[in-house]
Amino acid sequence: MRTLIVEDDASLRKSLETAIRDLGGEPRGVGTARQASDALRESAPHLLIVDISLPDGDGLEILREARQAAPDMDAIVITGSSAIDHAIEALRAGAADYLLKPLRPPQLEAVYQRVAERRRLELELDELRTELQETGRLGEMVGRSEAMQTVFESLRKVARTAAPVLISGASGSGKEVAARTIHRLSRRAGKPFVAFNCGAVSPTLIESELFGHERGSFTGADKRRVGYFEEANEGTLFLDEITEMSAELQVRLLRVLEEKSLRRVGGAQEIRVDVRLLSATNRDPEVAMREGKLREDLYYRLNVFPLRLPALKERREDIPILAEHFLREIDQQEKSGVKHFEPAAIQLLQARDWPGNVRELRNMVHRAYILTEGDTVREDVVRGLLPGAADAEREPKKAAKKAPPAVRKPSKPQARR
């Protein structure tokens, strides 16, 4: 990160340059307001570190001038005064933070890393926005339909916050992919993402899987185990099928979310955890609450920001781009050189309702890929694979013979990182 340091004390300036270089930055130091103006024009820094008090001017004026010319530039103000007015003025002028002299290296490092991390995320976000405009994608999510544009917009906004998100949508609609995308676009992107399916584990085991256990806490607990909450510390925990969790465990989950600390099963020690929780359900969350599947207090805690993913039949116009996307993805793995669909094959895919949603479409594309000879998936191959379509007029026997047994994707592992 190109960093301009404006500090009149030559020795402190040099020391700051050395420290910033050690933190991975590219520093340039100047000692006066006039030199700062020149340097801002010449080097277009990403970060400005400026002392308020300079021999020939006011550091805040330099900051205002710099932010006017480059609104994206970050700034850290250094001040020798602990007066709150200075801090407020610095923040109003656009500083990301301010540091009080004498400078403490851990504070400088923390502020610098925070700015660097935000910059990295904003660059990634810009890349993703461009990607979205060009290809109809946001991270691993694909779609140009209006419904998906709305989802992308909500997702981008909520990703930058710490708010819990409750994702709802039919099975296979991409809830975990949406959760991963939120994590990837969030400030926690460099930290762990842990996904756990509450419906895939027996209710008696969920507690120890989530919160961990101490050795000897129950039969078979022959060693201490750290739970997924602790594994996701500083990162994101995604709980799928949240309504499958017992009411008793929902109370415990609520307590952890409120107190930001937990006790392992059989443990006495409170362990602090800093986790952003994303949860998902394939039920209507309000109906689940009314039916007693989801506690009301937990519902309100999880549902700070609801995100509903549309079923594939609600966005049929995305089927061509999704099918092409999956074909490319599969070809990268399998390398058989199948690159295209016949237009009629795509039309067949678009006509179907896809009760298994995006996951089912992907499996179908994979099967068609396996059966295709040459570089183009033909209409008859797709017709043979679609339930009911095998009885249709064109080459029913051939298609039925070619179709492999319906293979479901293997059940998801309990936790994925």
- Select 9 or 248, whichever has its Cβ closest to other proteins: 9
Binding segment for other proteins among 16-24, 30-38, 57-65, 268-276 (CB under 8 A)? 16-24
What is the size of the binding site for other proteins (CB under 8 A)?
Answer: 19
Q: Is 11 in the site for other proteins (CB under 8 A)?
A: yes
**Shortest Å, Cβ 345 to other proteins:** 58
Residues 91 and 69: beta-carbon distance below 8 Å:
no
- Select 18 or 246, whichever has its Cβ closest to other proteins: 18
- Select 18 or 171, whichever has its Cβ closest to other proteins: 18
Q: d(Cα 366, Cα 361) in Å, to the nearest integer?
A: 9
CA 337 to chain centre: 32
* Closest CA relative to residue 104, chosen from 92, 96, 112, 94: 112
Which pair of structure tokens corresponds to residue 323? 């099918």
Residue type, 389: A
Q: Which phi-psi region, left, alpha or beta, contains residue 174 (left: φ > 0; alpha: ψ -120 to 50)?
A: left
- Which residues within the stretch 86-145 sit at the binding site for other proteins (CB under 8 A)? 101-106, 108
Binding segment for other proteins among 14-22, 88-96, 266-274, 376-384 (CB under 8 A)? 14-22
Q: Is 12 in the site for other proteins (CB under 8 A)?
A: yes
- Select 15 or 217, whichever has its Cβ closest to other proteins: 15
Q: Is 347 in the site for other proteins (CB under 8 A)?
A: no
Q: Is 55 in the site for other proteins (CB under 8 A)?
A: no
**Near other proteins by CB under 8 A: residue from 4, 5, 16, 288:** 16
* Closest CA relative to residue 205, chosen from 219, 192, 191: 219
Count of positions (residues) in the chain? 417
Binding segment for other proteins among 8-16, 186-194, 309-317, 333-341 (CB under 8 A)? 8-16
Q: Is 392 in the site for other proteins (CB under 8 A)?
A: no
Start-to-end C-alpha separation, the chain: 30
Q: How many CB atoms lie within 10 A of CB 135?
A: 12
* Closest CA relative to residue 250, chosen from 290, 203, 213: 203
Q: Which residues bind other proteins (CB under 8 A)?
A: 9, 11-12, 14-16, 18-19, 22, 53, 80-81, 101-106, 108
